[in-house]
Amino acid sequence: MNNKFSLSRLSGVFNEALIRNEPTIAFEIQNGKGRFLFMMFFGEEDNDSKDQLFLFMKNTMRMIQLKMYGNHSKGQFDIYVNHRIVNWIKEELGILNSNSGNPFDLASFFSDINFNIPQNLPLTNKINILRDNWENIKEKVPENIIEESDKKYLIGPKVLKLPRRPRERTLRKLYLYSNETPENVENLIASLKRLNITLAWSKDKNFSSTSINSIFKKIS
């Protein structure tokens, strides 16, 4: 039997991301010994990950993908959890084979998780979290959240003609494949979206990536 839980406080960072046109969410919550990384990818082209919550358990290195139900614009983020997932959560918490005599309260666990969901999430925080965890999660999230993920070397800017817009799946490469500070990445992304410019990338390992500073000079 599946248990239903509400993560209603996702509404804050979800609506913030929509307003700022940043359809990527990533944050961490620690609960007891458990370390939980929550991620959402919901750009216009993110067909495979819309309405999906990716929950990575950092101790056990396990990824869970949960479908979210309800009207998100009205704060409805309902998930269903089966017995197998409950055991994975208990394993992450280090209590799977506990004989403490205190039964695991799943409702209290998700109530605590919901309470601790951040209500604002700067893009710089998302960038840092994804960079810090990418090596461990890149094989566990849909490959197409990154456009042509094998192209990691930045060539330069590319002007788009309306109605085309910079794709979030392309801009996410700056989160992961750039050595620039998150603040510089945030500023560049804002400029690219304002000017309707995207970035071209290469998969040639011998290609010397263009710096963000040089791109700023080209588009300013």
Q: Model confidence over 128-171: pLDDT tens digits?
A: 999 999 999 999 999 999 999 999 999 989 999 878 899 999 99
Instruction: Tell me the C-alpha distance between 27 and 146, whole Å.
Output: 18
Instruction: For the chain, give the percent of residues with pLDDT over 90.
Output: 76
pLDDT on residue 101: 65
pLDDT on residue 163: 87
Band (220; pLDDT cuts 50, 70, 90):
confident
- Higher-scoring residue by pLDDT: 197, 103: 197
Instruction: Tell me the C-alpha distance between 197 and 212, whole Å.
Output: 14
First vs last C-alpha separation in the chain: 57
pLDDT exceeds 80 at position 178? yes
Instruction: For the chain, give the percent of residues with pLDDT over 70.
Output: 98
Band (211; pLDDT cuts 50, 70, 90):
confident
> DSSP secondary-structure letter at 2?
P
Q: What H or E segment, with its residue span, contains residue 113?
A: helix 106-115
pLDDT exceeds 70 at position 100? no
pLDDT exceeds 70 at position 212? yes
> DSSP secondary-structure letter at 59?
T
Across the chain, what does the average pLDDT equal?
93
pLDDT on residue 209: 74
**18 and 121 Cβ atoms separated by less than 8 Å:** no
DSSP string, 71-100: -GGGT--EEEE-HHHHHHHHHHHT-TT--S
**51 and 67 Cβ atoms separated by less than 8 Å:** yes
**53 and 69 Cβ atoms separated by less than 8 Å:** no
pLDDT exceeds 70 at position 199? yes
**pTM here?**
0.93
Instruction: Tell me the C-alpha distance between 111 and 103, whole Å.
Output: 16
pLDDT on residue 111: 97
Angle at which helix 123-137 crosses helix 182-195, to 10 degrees, equals 110
Residue 171's φ and ψ, nearest 5 degrees, are: -65, -30
pLDDT on residue 20: 94
Q: Edge-to-edge strands of the sheet including 34-41? A: 24-31, 34-41, 52-57, 62-67
Among 79-83, 155-159, 175-179, 213-217, top mean pLDDT goes to 79-83
pLDDT on residue 217: 86
